[in-house]
Chain A
């Protein structure tokens, strides 16, 4: 009976050898959790401690192969997004970053050079395409814009010609100058007829966002505060836009006024841009947030 008891005690212990309920991550994307540079080896005792383990590590240089989940690749990829919109965007074509597949960064003279493999998505047709891009962030004192080259496959498949043409004709000779405010509104809502103007505002903002971008910024357009159509000139639709940009790394909301033109042939152009001052002393200022 003693032996029986011993066996009965030992066998379950061997069977339930693993200490905690493990979570199977299956085939999730590799995010280098095993190679986290700052990680402290997990102690055998899985009891939590209140102790903070200070790991003194050299600052991780973002040079060489980039982790696609980490911020350097994401920020650079967003710059490529802005670039693509300046080239190809329209009231019916607005491109967003879908996924970063791989990337690398290196120092080239005074500059920082990135290479990226990305998936971009055209957000109105939902068509995706693979893109290869190269960016150069200028170093030194000057505040010049990054230089981008990108080639994409399959991204521009959607046929927007008919819609663009109809929109252009509708507003070109219009006696009713169209305008709008708060697109989207506080609830994320907009009237359907305002959508192309929202897209256009986003594309126009891309010119500014591209120009203002560096390795420490991540821009999105938060809202079209207002826009007003102006008289058509040289066959271009013309608009004054007041846009709010959200810069993620500072969390700031930045106001810009833009003079925007568009036609199906010429695409979107920003003729003038003016940064609006931030109102510090206002408690509830119109059109500014602190």
Chain B
């Protein structure tokens, strides 16, 4: 135990010294990795992503498992990858979901990149390794599976946004905006009751099975989740809760500080500017979002990422920008996750307890020697 306590101090020291985060490691690429490298510079359809999830499990059976946690309207599985070093106790968690809006293809691409990156670096990067020990990453590469598949159908469906549930009550359009359907000030602002509208919030909160699936999972895990990241495009922004203009998160200052730190980390990669703020401040007000729901049930660090670009390509971001976008977003996500992790695992309480025990033990040893 004394060794354990001593090592806490050593790890603290090494944390202060260490600055690398593994995102830009220039590893020597083997032939296998080269193929993988090309893989992560292309967009992939749903069946490719499903096959890829199986491959991640196969290649990393000790750390990767999958969970089907819901069904879409069209009865497809909603699947997440659970990634972490196994432990006997209950672990803290990080939640990340991508592709809640179908046309934002760079988002699922980022989820895939993120998984690839933590699997690539956890054995060699001490920080990633530590976080893999203490945390489980729950990553949903595509949440709006129906919508994503529809956006791959042909050029004319490429810019689909919502789910694919049919309208009701005589309204003949399709789809609910999943990011307006959560039980978080549902229906209050930034929504429409017209099922043809792109902000249609559904007949009621959680009318959509996709939103229900996330809500169900988060409800089961809520005490354990340290950070909630939901990935979108475009606009180059990091949004903090809440989407309602008159409601502030109790830790707003902390969220802004961490967000600004993440934006700084992003900018250090490829000099891209990401704006940080609440949605009512920097974008537009809206309620019923997954991010708001995450914050409301008590997840302290809840962020929406709006990835590249700022409008030149918009949703149709060229594939040669996938890699740099993912690299910078990884740096931003890593910043937030590290903060969330360190806040729990290097807290004041832990430090004082460790110090107390060390000194008590030292006192006991010295008194034993004196006697």
- The reply to whether B198 and A251 contact each other, CB–CB distance below 8 Å, is yes
| Residue in A33, A38, A283 whose beta carbon sits within 8 Å of that of B257 in the complex | A33
Contact B245 A42 (CB under 8 A): no
**Chain B CB within 8 A of A31 CB:** yes
Cβ–Cβ contact B247 & A53, under 8 A: yes
Q: Count the A residues whose beta carbon is within 8 Å of the partner chain — how many?
A: 78
> Is the Cβ of A39 less than 8 Å from the Cβ of B247?
no
CB-based contact A251/B260 at 8 Å: no
B175-207 interface (Cβ within 8 A of A) = 175, 196, 198-199
B155 A185 Cβ-Cβ under 8 A? yes
Give every chain B residue within 8 A of A251 (Cβ-Cβ): 161, 198-199
The verdict on B264 contacting chain A, using a C-beta distance below 8 Å, is yes
Q: Can you list, as one digit per residue, whether each of A203-227 has a CB less than 8 Å from chain B (1) or not (0)?
A: 0000000000000000011110000
Residue among B252, B352, B370 having the largest count of chain A Cβ atoms under 10 Å: B252
Residues of A268-290 at the interface with B, using a CB-CB cut-off of 8 Å, are 280-281, 283-290
The reply to whether B316 and A186 form a contact with Cβ atoms under 8 Å apart is yes
Q: Is the CB of A188 within 8 A of B321?
A: yes
Residues of A close to B296: CB separation below 8 A: 50, 52
Chain B residues near A57 (CB-CB < 8 A): 246
A13 within 8 A of B: yes
Alpha-carbon gap, A290 to B221, bound state (A): 35
Given contacts A20-B348, A69-B282, A189-B319, contact A43 B250 (CB under 8 A): yes
Supposing A16-B348, A39-B252, A69-B277 touch, asked if A188 and B311 sit within 8 A by C-beta, the answer is no
Which has the most chain B C-beta neighbours within 10 Å: A52, A96, A123?
A52
Give chain A nearest CB distance to B258 CB in angstroms: 6
Which residues of A in the span 59-81 have a Cβ within 8 Å of any Cβ on B? 59, 67, 69-71, 74, 78
Pairwise interchain contact B276-A48, C-beta atoms closer than 8 A: no
Measured as residues with beta carbon below 8 angstroms from the partner, the interface class of chain B is 35 or more
Nearest chain-B residue to A41 (Cβ)?
B253
Report how far A221 CA is from B309 CA in the complex, Å. 13
Contact partner of A186 (CB less than 8 A), chosen from B158, B245, B363, is: B158
**Of B157, B257, B348, B355, the contact of A25 (CB 8 Å cutoff):** B257
Q: B254's contact among A24, A46, A55, A284, by CB below 8 Å, is which?
A: A46
- Mark interface residues in B274-306 (1 if CB within 8 Å of A CB, else 0): 011110011110000000000011111000000
Q: List B contacts of A182 (CB < 8 A).
A: 155
Other-chain residue from B162, B172, B310 in contact with A96 (beta carbon distance below 8 A): B310
Interface flags for B2-33 (1: CB within 8 Å of A; 0: not) read: 00000000000000000000000000000000
CB atoms of B281 and A71 under 8 A apart: yes
- 1/0 per residue, CB under 8 A from B, across A1-30: the answer is 100110011001100101111011110100
Contact B310 A25, beta carbon cutoff 8 Å: no
Residues of A within 8 A of B260 (CB): 25, 28, 31, 33
- Contact between B263 and A23 (Cβ–Cβ < 8 Å)? no
Q: Look across to chain A and name the residue whose beta carbon is closest to the beta carbon of B151.
A: A186
By the criterion CB–CB under 8 Å, are A283 and B174 in contact?
yes
Contact A1-B352, Cβ < 8 Å, known A188-B316, A249-B284: no
Please, which residues of chain B bring their CB within 8 A of the CB of A221?
Answer: 314
Chain A residues in 8 Å Cβ range of B154: 284
Q: Are B359 and A53 in contact (CB under 8 A)?
A: no
Is B331 close to A, CB under 8 A? no
Q: Evaluate contact between B282 and A16: CB separation under 8 angstroms.
A: no
Task: Considering the complex, give the chain B residue whose CB is closest to the CB of A16.
Answer: B351
Output the nearest chain A residue to B335 by Cβ-Cβ distance. Answer: A23
* Structural contact, B318 and A280, CB atoms closer than 8 A: no
Contact A48 B298 (CB under 8 A): yes
In the bound assembly, the distance between CA atoms of A28 and B275 in angstroms comes to 11
Q: Is the CB of A284 within 8 A of B310?
A: no
Measured in the bound complex, the distance between the Cα atoms of B358 and A13 in whole Å is: 13
Distance, CA A8 to CA B250, complexed state (A): 36
- Compute how far the CA of A70 lies from the CA of B300 in the bound complex, rounded to whole angstroms: 24
Smallest CB–CB gap between B291 and chain A, Å? 14
B 342-357 binary contact with A (CB < 8 Å = 1; else 0): 1100111001100110
- Could you pull out 27 A-B pairs where Cβ atoms are within 8 angstroms? A12-B351, A18-B348, A20-B347, A28-B261, A28-B263, A28-B264, A33-B260, A36-B252, A36-B278, A36-B281, A48-B250, A49-B250, A55-B246, A69-B281, A96-B310, A186-B155, A187-B316, A187-B319, A189-B318, A189-B319, A220-B314, A222-B159, A222-B315, A249-B284, A284-B156, A286-B156, A289-B158
10 A-B pairs closest in CB distance: A188-B318, A220-B311, A33-B256, A12-B355, A48-B300, A251-B198, A8-B359, A50-B298, A23-B261, A289-B159
